Amino acid sequence: MKQTFPQAGRQSGVMLIEALIALLIFSIGILGIVGLQASAVNASSDAKYRSEAALLANELIGRMWASNRTQVTLQAAFASPSGTEYQKWAYQGVLSGSPGTSTAPADGTVLKTLPGAMAQPPTVVIVSSGVATLVPSSIVTVTIFWKAPSETTVHNYIAEARIGG
């Protein structure tokens, strides 16, 4: 009597195909995780630059509040690009050591802190508030620009404050 066994030929290789499909699904998952990691790093660096821009703008506004707050004095000292305090804030710095220049900014200044800021320096615009008060006030708009090393778009941060009365 002859024994017959079920044909194994039709089932051969199924395990290999299952393993290859599992490997493909795993690879797609890993690629997705790598993509998420890259976008998380980009978002983190953008948040870092934006927070540095906010701190630098608030630093300048704080200097304005600590100075003589008349509009003429604010214009002479803080308006871009020639105000003396603006020059210290943007280029020269206030720390001891050699001061920076417009081509080689000092440490701690806007142009040294933010990448790509040399291409488009920050602007400070000071205008009268137009409101009649006992002590005149000014509206100050500080705009800081930067461009991340891996990007082509220029980012900006705008801070606006009322200085004076």
pLDDT in tens, 92-142: 876 656 677 767 788 778 888 899 888 899 999 999 877 766 667 889 999
Can you name the residues that pair with 146 across neighbouring β-strands? 155
Q: Is residue 74 part of a domain?
A: yes
Other Cβ atoms within 10 Å of 127 Cβ, number: 12
Q: Is residue 1 part of a domain?
A: no
Q: Is residue 135 part of a domain?
A: yes
Q: Is residue 68 part of a domain?
A: yes
Q: Is residue 35 part of a domain?
A: yes
pLDDT level of residue 156 (50, 70, 90 thresholds): very high
Phi, psi (5° rounding) for residue 61? -65, -40
Q: Is residue 7 part of a domain?
A: no
Q: Is residue 49 part of a domain?
A: yes
Task: Please state the pTM of the whole predicted model.
Answer: 0.75
Per the structure, the count of domains in the chain is 1
User: Residue 70 belongs to what domain range?
Assistant: 14-164
Q: In the chain, count of helices (H) and strands (E)?
A: 4, 3
Nearest Cα to Cα of residue 138 among 60, 66, 62, 72: 72
Other Cβ atoms within 10 Å of 36 Cβ, number: 10
Q: Is residue 3 part of a domain?
A: no
Nearest Cα to Cα of residue 128 among 82, 42, 69, 58: 69
